[in-house]
Amino acid sequence: MKNNNRSGWLIAAASVLAVGLILGGCGKKATGPPNITPEVSVVTIQSKQVVITTELAGRTSANLVAEVRPQVNGIIQERLFTEGADVKTGQTLFKIDPAIYWSTLDNAKAALARSEANLSAIQLKADRLRELLAEKAVSQQDYDDAAAALKQIQADIQFGKANVDMARINLRYTSITAPISGRIGRSNVTEGTLVTAQQPTVLATIQRLDPMYVDVPQSTAEVLRLRRGLKEGRLEQSGADQKKVKLIMEDGTMYPLEGTLQFRDVTVDPTTGSVILRIVFPNPKAVLLPGMFVRAVVQEGVNNQAILIPQQAVSRDPRGNPLTLIVDAQSNVQLRMLTLDRAIGDKWLVSSGLAPGERVIIEGMQKVKPGAPVKVVPFEISGGKNSGERKSASPPPAKSN
C-alpha cells in the first residue's frame, strides 16, 4: 500500500508540472510583441513640362552625288586627280586621247570652207539670172535652177558649221571634268583603258558631304499617335525648335551639331509601313560619311502636364499589364493599373492611371499588399542620381562631450 501511494503521488506531480509548462508556454505566446506596420518610401506625383522626343534609326547620304562617265569613245591617257581628295566644279579628272577628234574637227572645217568658197560664185550667177529674167533673156527654168543651187550651198554651209561645232564639243569631251564640287572616290579605270560614251561603268563618283542628309523611316503608327496627341492637346509643338534634331553616332556619342528636319515624305513604303523623314546636318569637318548608320532624336512636341514615375515603381501582372502601388490618404496601400507611353531616361511617362498629388511606393513594394496599412517615408535620391538609396530623414545623432 505504501508503494502504491508513492506511485500515485509521483504521477500527480508529473501531471501538475506538465500543465504548468503548457500554461507557461501559452502565457508567453499571448504576451509576445505586437505586429509591426511595414515601412515604405514614396514619391508624390507632380506634373511637369517635358519635351517628348523619339529616336529613329537611319542612314546618312550625300546631298549631291555625281557619277562621272565618258561622253565620247577613246583611250584614257591620264588620270589627273588624287583618289579621296576634294575636287572643284570644272576640274579635269581624266584625259582621253584626242587625236581622232582633232582630225574630225579639221575635216569639218575643210568641208565648211569648201562650201563657203562656192557660195560667192553661185550667188553671183543667181543675181545675173534674176536680172536677165526680168529682160526675158533667160528662161524661168534657168533662174529657178540657179536659185535652188544657191539655197543648197547655203544649207551646206549651215551643215558644215554644225559639224564644226559638234567636232569641237567632242574634242572638249576628251577632257572629262568634275560636274560638281565635292569629294571624289576611287577611280574604276586606269590609263590605257578603252571607254565608250554613256557606258554603264562609272569612272569615279563625286559626293558633296556638307551638308549631309540623314534619312530615317518613321512608322505610320507613330505618325498617327503623334497626330492624335496633338489633336487631344496632350502635345504642343514649339515652333522653330520643333524642327531641331540631334544625332547619335554609331559608337553612342552625340554629334556636336544640330540638324534641321527638312520634310516628311507623304508616300508610305508598302514593305515597311513607314514614311521617310529627311534631316539636314551641317558637316564642315566631314565627320559624317555617306552610308553611316545613325540614330536621330526627333522632337515630337511638348507635354505640359507630363507625369513621370521611376521605373522601379512599376511592375507587371501575369498578363504583362503595368501596375503600381500607391498610399492613399488613410495610409493604406492601393493598386493602380497604368497606361505607359514610353520610357524617358530612368522613368516611365504615364498616360493614365495616376493623378498629381498621389503617393507612389518606390521601395518596400514586396512587403505590402493592397489594403494593408503602411508607414510612409519620403523617398530621396542621393547625389542627384538614381542610386536606389534613400537618405535618412532624421538628423544625425549629437556627439557626446
Q: Domain 70-96+174-201, what fold?
A: OB fold (Dihydrolipoamide Acetyltransferase, E2P) (2.40.50)
Q: CB under 8 Å to 122, separation ≥6 — which residues?
A: 146, 149, 150, 153
For the cut 90, the answer to whether the pLDDT of residue 334 exceeds it is no
Rounding to the nearest 10 degrees, give the CA dihedral for residues 261, 265, 269, 273: 60
pLDDT 10s digits, 145-199: 778 888 888 888 888 899 999 999 999 999 999 999 999 999 998 899 999 988 8
- pLDDT, residue 49, reads 79
User: What's the chain's length in residues?
Assistant: 401
For the cut 80, the answer to whether the pLDDT of residue 131 exceeds it is no
What is the assigned CATH class of domain 40-50+305-380?
Answer: mainly beta
pTM assigned to the model: 0.64
Phi, psi of 252 (to 5 degrees): 90, -5
CA 258 – CA 254 distance, rounded (Å): 10
- pLDDT, residue 34, reads 59
More confident residue, 30 or 247: 247
CATH of region 98-173, choose from 1.10.287.470, 3.40.630.30, 1.10.3470.10, 3.30.9.10:
1.10.287.470
pLDDT 10s digits, 66-78: 999 999 999 999 9
Contact in structure between 280 and 215 (CB atoms under 8 Å) = no
CATH superfamily, domain 51-63+210-303, is Efflux pump adaptor protein, beta barrel domain (2.40.30.170)
pLDDT 10s digits, 80-117: 898 888 999 999 999 999 999 999 999 999 988 888 88
Cell representation of residue 323: 501596375
pLDDT 10s digits, 113-123: 888 888 877 87
More confident residue, 369 or 32: 369
Radius of gyration of the chain (CA): 46
CA 378 – CA 397 distance, rounded (Å): 20
Domain definitions of the chain by residue range: 40-50+305-380, 51-63+210-303, 70-96+174-201, 98-173
Contact in structure between 140 and 24 (CB atoms under 8 Å) = no
For the cut 80, the answer to whether the pLDDT of residue 331 exceeds it is yes
Q: CB under 8 Å to 361, separation ≥6 — which residues?
A: 40, 41, 42, 313, 324, 325, 326, 327, 333, 368, 374
